[in-house]
Amino acid sequence: MPKRDITIAMVGAGGDGIVTMGDVLSQAAARDGLNVLKTEAYGPQIRGGESSCVVRLSADPIYESGDGVDALIVFSWADFSRFKGECTPAKNAVVLSDEADPVARTPEDLGLGADAVWIKLPFGKLSTDSGAKGSKNLVGLGVLTALFDLPVDTLRRAVVSRFGRKKAAVGESALKAFEAGFLLGQTLPPMPERRLGFTPGPAKLIMSGNEATAIGALHAGCRYFAGYPITPSTEILMFLDEWLPKMGGSLSQTEDELSAIGAVLGASFAGEKAMTATSGPGLSLMTEMLGLASMAELPCVIVNVQRGGPSTGLPTASEQSDLFQAVYGGHGDAPRVVMAPSDVEDCFHTTVDAFNIAEEYQIPVIVLSDQLVAQRRETFDPASLVHAVRERRLPSPEELTDYHRYRETPDGVSPMARPGIKGGIYQTNGLEHDEKGSPGSGFLLHEKMNAKRYRKLRPIRDAYTFHRRYGPQDADIGILCWGSSKGVVREAVQRANARGQKVAAFVPQMIYPFPKKELEAFLKSVKHILVVELSYAAQFYKYLRTFVDLPAERTHVYKRSGGKHLTVAEVDAEIVALLAAERVSEKVSA
Amino acid sequence: MNEAATLPEFKPADYKTDLKPVWCAGCGDFGVLTGLYRALTELQVKPWETVVVSGIGCSSRLPGYVDTFGVNSLHGRALPLAAGVKVVRPDLTVIAVGGDGDGLAIGGNHFMHAARRNLDVTYLIMDNEIYGLTKGQAAPTTPTGDKTKSTHYGNPEPAVDPCELAISFGATWVGRAFSGDLKGTVELMVKALSHKGFAFLNVMSPCVTWRGDDLFKTLKAKQRQLPENHDASSRAAALIYTRETEFMTTGVLYDVSEPTLLDRLAAVKVTALAGKPQPTVADIISSFQPSF
């Protein structure tokens, strides 16, 4: 019986076209309606150097990169060794390597079992013979297509579309290399049980989290972006640099992150929906201005794509350790909103919500994305990108007759004039100020205005309880996680329930103000609590404890540093161990 | 002819808020504020179409006293905010103001880049050669050897000339004024506000509290006008009147016409569209759906 889900890893040197190979494969799969999840990894070199790409294809919904690599194609073992732990083949994997590779590897080196298949092929030679030099990647793709019964016609079109865009001849030559590989693949012993079986469906969207974030911003009406390049958020800046001017908007690449958020606040003051995007070190710099946005009640969206920290840390790796900085960072009592997308599609919706909240409540909103969701590519249904857009409240003509920028209101939101509105003139500042905006340092005023600013969080908490719950209602284990951990946890939950174990999960996308009631209900419905996060200091666990009591006797924390993506196997092992321990303790008490 | 129609719409008082300045009696910043009221009146700038942005410091309290839209932002950050305002609202008159510490120390990086970009704003520094709000510490403009609250044994550092910096950073209009010379200050403010591009006006604005009572007198004695034949289009000629010790030359040191940031951003939009209609977000989304 064919498989419905396969994971293919590709590894090579710079120039081997690993990234292109993964792109063509995932584009073709998305075209035929398969679910695709693609991650890439590179060496530290600026240009060239080793690269790897893992593409998971499935006829069923998938939420993470896949635990085991079913097919590994390696053009250079020397480069493979740099991705230790990232492209580990499954015990029964199919391994394809170049027979001309001077570096030798054994099945034992790779931990392969008896049912693994290893085929050495003349990738380099075939590429040269096909007339398209340097097309090992396409030869390899052809072999994979034949071996795993991938949709060959769609792949042919994907190759031509990718290479023939500018010159038809280049497309034809690329296709020849692909066909050479495909022919070779057909001569290999067939492996029917390893083939991918699926029925093609309508084309899906395929994009990265950073792209989805940028598109979400445009959809929300953002027409100004200011930013400073920083990995792994830079794609947002580059994407908007291409599209904002076409949409009538503008982008500023500023001299630093202080200036980026400053310009965003200036644009917001002037009446425009504005955003910046950065990563941990940049958010550190932006923190002073976050306080001003909170104090002066200036709407703005700050996307923080987390990477390993502190300091320069691990710029290209994911971690969930900016939680405290996002929620608590800065001096003074500065209300802000923090949201966390948990997959690529979420990046779109979270960003639109972030703008809606920022504009409606005149408050800074941080979108805590992370390297994993930001840079991986995922497929989803085009129809899902629908999201209502909300606008800033401008003063009415009556309100303009005696305009008070920070007028006390039941929900704390005061109508916000913009320059050009005749009766709406006001001067704002980072000093404590009265309802008119005039500076004042009295205790009573400070208390009153703090209360006004914090009051805005209440309606936000009531209206935005964005979270997800997976698994049965009365579970033995309830997992708490956030952000990109969701994919892995969701699959671990499925796996456990398929085994007959009752495991559920609660994943908040709204981080602050926290959906406390929803969490309390979840905690009541589960026996044991398992917190899963990529933060050495267990920031999420500590943060949750500020809202709910997590009794030590029924709470277990699985946390570690980032730098390597969380895997289903890790979470699964925790589930198994926790359930085993529970059985032991039940026996003891009996 | 209706006589009322010929009267100017705005008087200096129309630019004044009810707030009483926090400045010490005799502070040079009063002259700057009065000068600004008059310059705005002369240009008949609509208050609701004007934004005054500042950083932090004594002089950065100024937006609160001008009845236009205003932001008293963070220390050193007036120019980033001004940039954001102007880029999204080219229709507005945007004025950034602040002190020498604000603009040259903590905000120095922004000064360089706003000038380099030829951002279409007017930037006024009220230069008192000291940190006044924190009670008398040395600033980047404090002369070498001067004793202040943070240089008890004499300032060990050389001072900068803000006009020299502005010229080398790429500002397209650079002037120096003296707040004790109100008429000259107003004239220069009007010129700065009328300039297309980044206009930088350094107004010598003495601090009577931390720099001594007689600074007005000293500066007045040092003040001289630029010679009639000064070539303001020449960078070299302008730089002659920087780092002065004996004199304090006021006037338009440098004035050239170059494409502004807004000009360039407008051109970017045209290039980006390449004559095609503006795309919708749906167009962008569909480009992510493989269609081969």
* Contact list, B48 vs chain A (CB under 8 Å): 419-425
- Shortest CA distance to B167 belongs to which of B98, B95, B264, B252? B252
Would you say A396 and A334 are in contact if contact means Cβ atoms under 8 Å apart?
no
Nearest chain A CA: its distance from B125 CA (Å): 19
Count how many Cα atoms sit within 13 Å of the Cα of residue A548 in the half-sphere of its side chain: 20
What pLDDT, on the 0 to 100 scale, is given for residue B1?
Answer: 47
Counts for chain B of helices (H) and strands (E), in that order: 11, 8
Is it true that domain A207-384 has CATH number 3.40.50.970? yes
What is the C-alpha to C-alpha distance for residues A194 and A469, in angstroms, rounded to an integer?
Answer: 33
Q: Which of B70, B83, B289 sits opposite A203 (nearest CB)?
A: B289
What are the DSSP calls for A175-198, one per residue? HHHHHHHHHHHHHSPP-GGGSB--
pLDDT of residue A590: 58
Q: Are residues B72 and A431, on separate chains, in Cβ contact within 8 Å?
A: yes
Whether A587 has a pLDDT exceeding 90, the answer reads no
Residue A569: other Cβ atoms inside 10 A: 13
User: Cα(B87)–Cα(B107) distance, rounded to whole angstroms?
Assistant: 19
Closest CA to A361 of A338, A337, A331: A337
Tell whether the model's pLDDT for residue A494 goes beyond 70. Answer: yes
**Residue A84 pLDDT exceeds 90:** no
Helix (H) or strand (E) holding B218: helix B215-222
SS percent in chain A: helix, strand, coil, step 5: 40, 20, 35
Quote the Cα angle for B96-B99-B102, to 5°: 85
Burial of A96 (0-12, 13-18, 19+ CB in 10 A): buried
Cβ atoms of residues A337 and A460 within 8 Å: yes
| Facing residue for B272 by CB, picked from A245, A261, A268 | A245
Residue range A280-293: mean pLDDT, rounded: 98
Contacts of B89 in chain A (CB under 8 A): 270-272, 419-420
- Please name the residue of chain B whose CA is at the shortest distance from the CA of residue A270: B85
Return the H-helix or E-strand segment holding B71: strand B69-72
- Which CATH superfamily hosts domain A5-203? Pyruvate-ferredoxin oxidoreductase, PFOR, domain III (3.40.920.10)
Task: Please indicate whether the domains covering A207-384 and A467-589 agree at the CATH topology level.
Answer: yes
Q: Helix (H, G, I), strand (E, B), or coil: what is residue A20?
A: helix
The pair of structure tokens assigned to A585 is 């303790």
- Residue range B224-234: mean pLDDT, rounded: 97
The span from the CA of B58 to the CA of A160, in Å, is: 65
B206: closest CA of chain A, how far (Å): 24
Could you say which residues from 528 to 567 on chain A have a Cβ atom under 8 Å away from some Cβ of chain B? none
User: Is the Cβ–Cβ distance between A559 and A538 less than 8 Å?
Assistant: yes
- Rounded to whole angstroms, what are the CA distances from A228 to A233, A256, A263, B114, B195? 9, 6, 12, 15, 29
Q: Are A199 and A331 in contact (CB under 8 A)?
A: no
Q: Are A65 and A77 in contact (CB under 8 A)?
A: no
Structure tokens at A308: 């390993």
Q: Do A250 and B72 count as a contact with CB atoms less than 8 A apart?
A: no
**3-state SS record for A216-267:** HHHHHCCCEEEECCCCCCHHHHHHHHHHCHHHCCEEEECCCHHHHHHHHHHH
The DSSP code sequence of B156-181 is -S----HHHHHHHHT-SEEEEEETT-
Please report residues of A whose CB lies closer than 8 A to that of B95: none
Nearest one of A418, A263, A138 to B110, comparing CA atoms: A263
Task: Provide CATH code, domain B3-258.
Answer: 3.40.50.970
**Mean pLDDT for the stretch of residues A286-306:** 98
Question: Rounded distance, CA B14 to CA B165, Å?
Answer: 34
State CA A1 to chain mean position distance. 34
Judged by a CB distance cut-off of 8 A, whether residue A23 touches chain B is no
| Per-residue CA distances from A307 to A319, A336, A480, A493, A563 (Å) | 5, 21, 21, 26, 8
pLDDT digits (tens, 9 = 90+) for A396-415: 999 999 999 999 999 999 99
Residues of B in contact with A250 (CB under 8 A): 87-88, 265, 269
Helix (H) or strand (E) holding B54: strand B50-54
Query: pLDDT digits over B137-158, tens only?
Result: 999 999 999 999 999 999 999 9
Helices (H), A319-442: 323-328, 344-361, 371-375, 397-401
Q: Residues A340-379: pLDDT tens digits?
A: 999 999 999 999 999 999 999 999 999 999 999 999 999 9
Classify domain A467-589 by CATH architecture: 3-Layer(aba) Sandwich (3.40)
* pLDDT tens-place string over residues A127-158: 999 888 889 999 999 999 999 999 999 999 99
pLDDT at A81 over 90: no
Q: Do B71 and A426 touch (CB under 8 A)?
A: no
Minimal CA–CA distance to B114: which of A123, A226, A483, A255?
Answer: A255
Q: Each residue of B115-129: pLDDT tens digit?
A: 999 999 999 999 999
Contacts of B64 in chain A (CB under 8 A): 427, 429, 438-439
Per residue in A66-80, pLDDT (tens digit) is: 788 999 999 999 989
Average pLDDT of the residues in B63-91: 98
The whole-angstrom separation of Cα A193 and Cα A147 is 11
- pLDDT tens string B192-224: 999 999 999 999 999 999 998 899 999 999 999
Nearest to A143 by CA among A118, A116, A123: A123
Residue-wise pLDDT tens digits, A328-342 = 999 999 999 999 999
- Reported as a single tens digit per residue, the pLDDT across A513-534 is 999 999 999 999 999 999 999 9
Please state the φ and ψ torsions of residue A368, each to the nearest 5 degrees. -95, 85
User: What's the mean per-residue pLDDT of chain B?
Assistant: 96
Judged against a pLDDT cut of 50, whether residue B241 lies above it is answered with yes
* B3: pLDDT strictly greater than 60: no
A31 touching B (Cβ < 8 Å) = yes
What are the sequence ranges of the domains in chain B?
Answer: 3-258
**What span, in angstroms and rounded, lies between the C-alpha atoms of B66 and B52?**
8
What Rg value do the Cα atoms of chain A yield, rounded? 26
Interface of B with A in 120-139 (CB under 8 A): none
> What DSSP letter does each residue of A398-425 carry, written as one string?
HHHHT--TT---TTS------TT-GGG-
Burial class (CB in 10 A: 0-12, 13-18, 19+), A171: middle
- When scoring A223, A241, A251, A427 by the number of chain B Cβ atoms within 10 A, the one with the most, hence best to mutate, is A427
Q: What's the Cα-to-Cα distance from A156 to each of A102, A142, A205, A257, B58, rounded to whole Å?
A: 31, 9, 19, 44, 69
Cβ contacts of B280 within 8 Å, gap of 6 or more = none
Walk across the sheet containing B122-127 and list its strands: A427-429, B69-72, B50-54, B93-99, B122-127, B199-204, B173-178, B248-255, B223-225
Closest CA to A303 of A410, A419, A422, A213: A213
Q: Which pTM does this prediction carry?
A: 0.96
Q: Which of B73, B265, B285 sits opposite A250 (nearest CB)?
A: B265
Place of tokens 């924390």: A557
**Domains of chain A by residue range:** 5-203, 207-384, 397-461, 467-589
> What is the predicted pLDDT for the residue at A423?
96
Q: What interhelical angle do A152-163 and A18-31 show, nearest 10?
A: 130
Q: Which residue of B has its CA nearest to A207?
A: B288
pLDDT of residue A588: 65
- How far, in Å, CA of A438 to CA of A156, rounded? 67
Tell me how far apart the alpha carbons of residues A224 and B11 are, in angstroms, rounded to a whole number.
Answer: 35
Chosen for mutation from A36, A175, A246, A400 (greatest number of chain B CBs closer than 10 Å) is: A246
Q: Which of A344, A202, A219 is nearest to B279 (CA)?
A: A219
| CA gap B28, A199 in Å, rounded | 79
